[in-house]
Amino acid sequence: MAVKIRLQRHGRAKQPYYHIVVADSRSPRDGKFIERIGSYNPNTNPATIDLDTEKALSWVEKGAQPTDTMRAILSYKGVLYRKHLARGIKKGAFNQDEADKKYAEWLEGKANKIDEKVSKLAKDADASMRSRMEAEAAVAHKRSQDILAKKSALAAEAAAATAEDGAEATAEATEENNND
């Protein structure tokens, strides 16, 4: 029986998330599986991957074949690197302590890369928000200036009309006084 490590799709349209499963290669994509070893959510940035690395390593060592996407995920999480180190121990290239040390260094480097990406994304989002707020403030200021200009123009028109009406009223009053 050929065993595969693959993704099982869940979620609604255009919002997928996946279960990471070990299944017989003949079973359908979302069908029967042997064991669920994690989950993968590509909707977040960076993608959220919850994986039981011990079970994954166990299945890979037993000969389970990962799909292309799962190979990338296993590599990202360090399962394939641990398999590589285990082969080095078996061949006698180095001992278990050295392998553990190398793996810990790799994990630390990977965590630093992820933290840098998260901080960069947060920084970019903050800069984007700040620029949008500045643009919005500029538009609001321009609108308020336009409203003030219209109000002052209307006030000037009203004052001119009042002055004109006052002049006409004075002229009529003078005419009436002259006629009497």
Say which residue the tokens 């799709």 belong to: 9
The total of other beta-carbon atoms located within 10 Å of residue 36's CB is 14
pLDDT of residue 116: 93
pLDDT of residue 169: 67
If we measure between CA atoms, which residue out of 51, 44, 90 comes closest to residue 71? 51
The answer to which of 38-42, 91-95, 102-106, 170-174 has the lowest mean pLDDT is 170-174
pTM comes to 0.70
Query: Chain-wide mean pLDDT for the chain?
Result: 90
pLDDT of residue 67: 94
The whole-angstrom distance between residue 104's C-alpha and the CA centroid of its chain comes to 28
pLDDT of residue 160: 82
Asked whether the predicted pLDDT for residue 45 surpasses 80, the reply is yes
pLDDT of residue 179: 66
If we measure between CA atoms, which residue out of 87, 93, 42 comes closest to residue 60? 87
Residue 152, sorted as left (phi over 0), alpha (psi -120 to 50) or beta, turns out to be alpha
Which residue ranges form the domains of the chain, and what is each CATH number? 3-93 (3.30.1320.10)
Asked whether the predicted pLDDT for residue 180 surpasses 70, the reply is no
Q: Average pLDDT in the 143-172 region?
A: 82
Instruction: Tell me the pLDDT band of 12, cut-offs 50, 70 and 90.
Output: very high
Asked whether the predicted pLDDT for residue 137 surpasses 90, the reply is yes
Pairing of strands 3-12, 65-66: parallel
Instruction: Tell me the pLDDT band of 136, cut-offs 50, 70 and 90.
Output: very high
The residues pairing with 12 across neighbouring beta strands, listed in sequence order, are 15
pLDDT of residue 170: 72
Asked whether the predicted pLDDT for residue 73 surpasses 90, the reply is yes
